[in-house]
Amino acid sequence: MNDVAYIALGSNLGDREQHLMRARSAIAELRDTRVIGVSAIEETDPLGPVDQPRYLNQMVAIETALAPRELLAELHAIESSEGRVRRERWGPRTLDLDIVCFQRQTVDDPDLRVPHKELPQRAFWQRELDELRSHAP
């Protein structure tokens, strides 16, 4: 079953724009997936208690036949390819990819919640979703 997924991209280490560009390209290459929308890039303050650089954030809308867990595994592989190392929660990272929501699916498991539980607290995600949805076919 195809569904539309909204993926948040964020980077605050290294060449942030290049990390986002390569992530967009890698997402576009996923099997049974096509990018149908890309939001503007926005710079935001980091969240959480760790002192760290500002983030570049962006969101992509994809049409995909991948199940939520399959998509998450693919996104983790893309993060790893960009040098992401999971050390501390809310810490700095070369690339962070989050499934924000699907158009028709939800997931409520301990290690995967869709819509993402932080969506209500992240105004930039809400702006990016609004931008993508306003240009949807």
**Catalytic (active site) residue 15:** no
Which range, of 71-75, 87-91, 110-114, 118-122, averages the lowest pLDDT? 87-91
Which of 93, 108, 109, 130 is catalytic? The answer is 93
Strands 33-38 and 96-102: unpaired
Residues 6+ apart with CB under 8 A from 91: 48, 50, 52
Distance CA 87, CA 90 (A): 9
Of the two residues 71 and 89, the one the predictor is more confident about is: 71
- pLDDT for the residue 108: 94
Average pLDDT over residues 18-42: 97
96 catalytic? Reply is yes
Q: With contact defined as beta carbons under 8 Å apart, do 128 and 59 qualify?
A: yes
* Residue 3 known to be catalytic: no
pLDDT at 137: 62
Q: What is the pTM of this model?
A: 0.93
Q: Which of 98, 109, 111, 127 is catalytic?
A: 98
Q: Mean pLDDT lowest for which of 14-23, 40-49, 84-93?
A: 84-93
Lowest mean pLDDT among 55-59, 97-101, 118-122: 118-122
Summarize the confidence of residues 100-115 as an average pLDDT. 94
> So what's the pLDDT on residue 2?
94
Read off the amino acid at residue 26. Answer: A
Closest listed residue to residue 16, CA positions, set 59, 50, 58, 47: 58
Q: Which domains does the chain have, with CATH numbers?
A: 3-134 (3.30.70.560)
pLDDT at 87: 66
Query: Residue 89's pLDDT band (boundaries 50, 70, 90)?
Result: low
Beta bridge partners of 9: 58, 97
